[in-house]
Amino acid sequence: MKNMLKMIAIFALLLFPARLASAGETLRWGGDSEGGFPYMFPNPSNTDEIIGFEIDIVDELTAYLGMTPEYVNNSWDNLIPGLERGLYDIAINGLEVTPEHEETVNFSIPYYKTFLQLAVRVETQDINVLDDCKNREVGTLKESYAQMVLEELGDVRIRTYIVEANTYEDLSNGRLDAALFDSPIAIYSAGFNPDIKFVGPPIGEITYAIAVSKENKELLAKINEAIVYLRDSGKLREIYDRWNLWSPMMAAEFNDYSPRKVDKTRYDEWAETRGPKLTLGRRLRRYAALLPSLGAAAIVTLQVSVTAMLIAIVLGLVLAIARVFAPKWVSVLSAAFVEFMRGTPVLIQLFFIFYGLPNVGIKLSPFWAGAVGLGLNYAAYEAEIYRAGLLAIPQTQWEAALALGMTHWQAMREVTLPQAVRVVIPPITNDFISLLKDSSLVSIITMVDLTKAYGQFAAAYYDYFGPGIIVAFIYLIIGLPFVKFSRYTERRLAEQDKDGKKSPGVNIYRMNTRWR
């Protein structure tokens, strides 16, 4: 057991390279790059680069303020909770100014206004306006203004998504009757899809602004000053022209009805990626280009998994010993912890640790929140495995050890525990493989692990098939050594039991000789 823990610890240390702190004043900003066309998304030509019209806005804004931008990835529906938690200084990702949001954060002056666009399949003839969506199944973005509109309409079967592209994919495949999204999302996500058409007039009015925490009024004033400068200097107009996002609504908002200032180069580049299907050779080259980024994400997955399993092994052993050997009140507390952790979803536990604990002054980094959350959850399962191993050792061996003059601690350490560990090594190894797969849940707390990277790349290319096979294969490669180790230990233990080389009687005799 000690040797195994040493090996895992050394392996974990090798996975964690030293990180150098960056110097200079930075502006940390939160956003979600998974499928966020045209706000922010991986560049189809270079997936290591995040592009989008809001990326351009942040670059211009920080250049005016003389600051260095630092991007923090978070899921769209958790951007405001992340801002409250202090993960970043501002949040910008098509955040809609609503009364609910304004109760929690402050908003800058608007930098963009748009409307909702209804989309249906090309063969659909009976949905032409929003009222026609009653008694239909309609997809939209989770916790968005569009969802509020559909809820107010009533009698609509609403399906919410966190990735816009998935909604239109379901619409094309007949799983939805309609989709309702902000106009920029509709233009970039469905405007090039021959199976989808836009119907009806513009719906409502949506205002985008930059979110700042209630306490940071000084930063809010600077952000507003920068937006006014970008608007009056024409830099915002140039950004919207490049991305083909200038509209009559924006012309009225900025009181600028002049012709296009610059060519729609960014929009045309995006249009090229939506062109004819790639040949097999080009598709394979695209997949090859993803491998470095997926490899980096795989290291994050492995780091979290190894750290979480170390926590689970150590804490699980303590819980099992407490439950079997400790006084009754300690045993009851241990059992209560195990049942609570096994009886509640690990996703809820991660949310509580990451977003809930800061309310009582406990702030963990995304990495440690994920590792601790998974470690505590799996510690409950490891505790039950250890307990089963401890109870599998005959009581007579414990009594014999005490009769030989050992203390209770010596009997447990030298007789009961070594035999129990031999029994539980294979199931613990299997649990690590399960934990490795469950580590995909850490993507909800701002970590870009293997699963999150898959979602980003798949959404960028509208291709869930090829990247999915690659990611599944990477998970298999990561887990395969532990599968082999589990089978090896099972085989070795079976051979030892068969040969009688580790019989309990011999162990007790040898230990008794040592203690003399």
Q: What pLDDT, in 10s, does the model give residues 25-56?
A: 899 999 988 767 899 988 877 777 889 999 99
pLDDT at position 498 over 70: no
- The closest alpha carbon to 405, from 245, 512, 263, belongs to 512
Q: Which residues of 131-158 are buried (b: 16+ CB within 10 A; e: fewer)?
A: ebbeebebbbbebbbbbebbeeeeebeb
Q: What is the pLDDT of residue 10?
A: 45
pLDDT at position 17 over 50: no
d(CA 389, CA 258): 78
Tokens of 146: 């569009």
Report residue 14's pLDDT band, with 50, 70 and 90 as the boundaries.
very low
Q: What is the pLDDT of residue 508?
A: 38
Report residue 420's pLDDT band, with 50, 70 and 90 as the boundaries.
confident
Residues ≥6 apart with Cβ < 8 Å to 87: 28, 30, 72, 74, 366, 446
Report residue 7's pLDDT band, with 50, 70 and 90 as the boundaries.
very low
- Cα dihedral across residues 307, 310, 316, 322: positive or negative: negative
Residues of the chain with pLDDT > 70: what percent?
88
Q: What is the pLDDT of residue 162?
A: 80
d(CA 516, CA 512): 6
**What integer is the mean pLDDT of 106-122?**
95
Instruction: Give 109: exposed, middle or buried? Use CB within 10 Å, 0-12, 13-18, 19+.
Output: middle
Q: What is the pLDDT of residue 240?
A: 96
Strands 157-161 and 137-141: parallel
Report residue 510's pLDDT band, with 50, 70 and 90 as the boundaries.
very low
Q: What is the pLDDT of residue 500?
A: 52
**What integer is the mean pLDDT of 63-85?**
90
Domains for the chain: give ranges and CATH numbers.
25-111+209-279 (3.40.190.10), 112-208 (3.40.190.10), 297-515 (1.10.3720.10)
Q: What is the pLDDT of residue 495?
A: 61
- The closest alpha carbon to 47, from 297, 276, 387, belongs to 297
Report residue 493's pLDDT band, with 50, 70 and 90 as the boundaries.
low
Mapped onto helix, strand or coil, the DSSP state of residue 206 is strand
Q: What is the pLDDT of residue 507?
A: 41
Q: Are 224 and 109 in contact (CB under 8 A)?
A: yes
Q: What is the pLDDT of residue 396?
A: 77
pLDDT at position 20 over 90: no
Higher per-residue pLDDT: 240 or 406: 240
d(CA 95, CA 101): 9
pLDDT at position 61 over 90: yes
Residues of the chain with pLDDT > 90: what percent?
45
Per mean pLDDT, which of 117-126, 446-455, 461-470 is the most reliable?
A: 117-126
**What integer is the mean pLDDT of 371-377?**
94
Q: What is the pLDDT of residue 138?
A: 96
d(CA 340, CA 451): 27
Comparing 288-292, 294-298, 422-426, the range with the smallest average pLDDT is 422-426
Comparing 113-117, 139-143, 417-421, 464-468, the range with the smallest average pLDDT is 417-421
pTM score > 0.75 for this model?
no
- Cα dihedral across residues 57, 58, 63, 66: positive or negative: positive
Mean pLDDT of the chain: 84
Model pLDDT for residues 181-205, shown as the tens digit of each residue: 999 999 988 888 889 999 999 999 9
Q: What is the pLDDT of residue 158?
A: 95
d(CA 50, CA 62): 16
Residue with tokens 């414990």: 398
**What integer is the mean pLDDT of 67-83?**
89
d(CA 314, CA 306): 12
pLDDT at position 334 over 50: yes
pLDDT at position 336 over 90: yes
Q: What is the pLDDT of residue 511?
A: 36
Model pLDDT for residues 259-284, shown as the tens digit of each residue: 998 999 999 888 877 766 667 787 88
Higher per-residue pLDDT: 2 or 373: 373
Q: What is the pLDDT of residue 417?
A: 74
d(CA 315, CA 320): 9
Tokens of 373: 């959350």
Q: What is the pLDDT of residue 494?
A: 62
